[in-house]
Structure 1
Amino acid sequence: MGKTELTIKAAIQILKPIPEVFEAIVDPKKMSNYFIAEGSGRMEEGREIEWKFPEFDMQFPITVGKIEKDKYVSYYWEVNKKKNLVEMTLSSFGKDTVVTITEKGMENNEEGISWLMGNTEGWANFLACLKAYLEYGINLRKGAFEFRSGE
């Protein structure tokens, strides 16, 4: 039996229209209210950008893949010296938006399973923070991960 690639999938319904959710994902100023501390630029197809997270004193390079306005965002980032694909799909549910995230790239082995557990938790947190920011104007991430700053 060959090795299989592991895939994370997480989704949430956000009580906002698709264009507002899309902008919160691609605009680094908006992302800084729920996910990153700062970003070097807007997510645009083919662009290389860097993200800085509030609890880590380093930059994380991002290679933006395909972008379909109000529908789809993809990018690659490095995980354990390997480029992983992250895909975010936006779909309508009445007046609301369903955001579905998948991340692919790790093998089904001990390292991959550890990644699967950690990043599944991370994407669920991302979605909860995005929802809290867009629906209630609060930053759930602020002060949430300072205990991890030494990792």
Structure 2
Amino acid sequence: MNHLEIKAAIQIAKPIQEVFEAIVDPQKMSNYFIAKGSARMETGKTVTWQFPEFPDQFNITVLSVSAPSAIAFEWEGAKDHVLKVDMQLQDKGAATVVRITEGTMPNDEEGIKWLRGNTEGWANFLACLKAYLEYNINLRTGAFDYMKG
């Protein structure tokens, strides 16, 4: 059976170190993605992310951080499935390409549901990261209020 894997990418008009810091620093990430994070993403740490729209908290087990070009972590990316997320940052001088891979899940109904939802999630993460870094805008503000209880 084939397995499903998410891939998403975007170019951000900011230097790689600035993009990297916006991902690993929970104070910066709270300006575009999470409501709060328990700690900076560092190799071997488990951090907790709280999203503004949902009461759930998500534990992120940081597998490796290679500043400023790579971050890898595991989380429960689908119910009862611990999945690996790889973030690769490519220096383009005044810009940075961010590539995200998450996976894998079986190519079945559950896997397709995960693929659809998390692909949308990572595309949103990348768009929010770009809007925050390039224009100082938090795209998530109010965007998912319709999902609250």
TM-score between both structures, scaled by the size of structure 1: 0.95
33-42 vs 88-97, which moves further: 88-97
Aligned Cα root-mean-square deviation (Å):
0.9
User: How many positions carry a matched residue from both structures?
Assistant: 148
Q: Name the residue aligned to 2:75.
A: 77
Residues 22 and 28, structure 2, Cα contact 8 Å, conserved in 1: yes
- Amino acid of the residue matched to residue 92 of structure 1? D
Report runs of 4+ in structure 1 exceeding 6 Å deviation.
Answer: none
- Aligned sequence identity (%): 61
- Displacement after TM superposition at 1:105 (Å): 2.5
Paired with 2:69 and 2:6, the residues of 1 have a C-alpha distance of: 19
Q: Name the residue aligned to 1:24.
A: 22
Residues 9 and 120, structure 1, Cα contact 8 Å, conserved in 2: yes
Paired with 1:58 and 1:117, the residues of 2 have a C-alpha distance of: 20
Gaps of 5+ in 2: none
- TM-superposition CA deviations, 1:24-48 (whole Å, max 9, x none): 0000000000000000000000101
- Displacement after TM superposition at 1:95 (Å): 1.8
Residues 82 and 105, structure 1, Cα contact 8 Å, conserved in 2: no
Paired with 1:139 and 1:35, the residues of 2 have a C-alpha distance of: 8
Q: Name the residue aligned to 2:132.
A: 133
SS in 2 for 1:144: coil
Paired with 1:28 and 1:48, the residues of 2 have a C-alpha distance of: 13
27-36 vs 4-13, which moves further: 4-13
Alignment of 1:26-105 (within 5 A): 26-78=24-76, 79-105=78-104
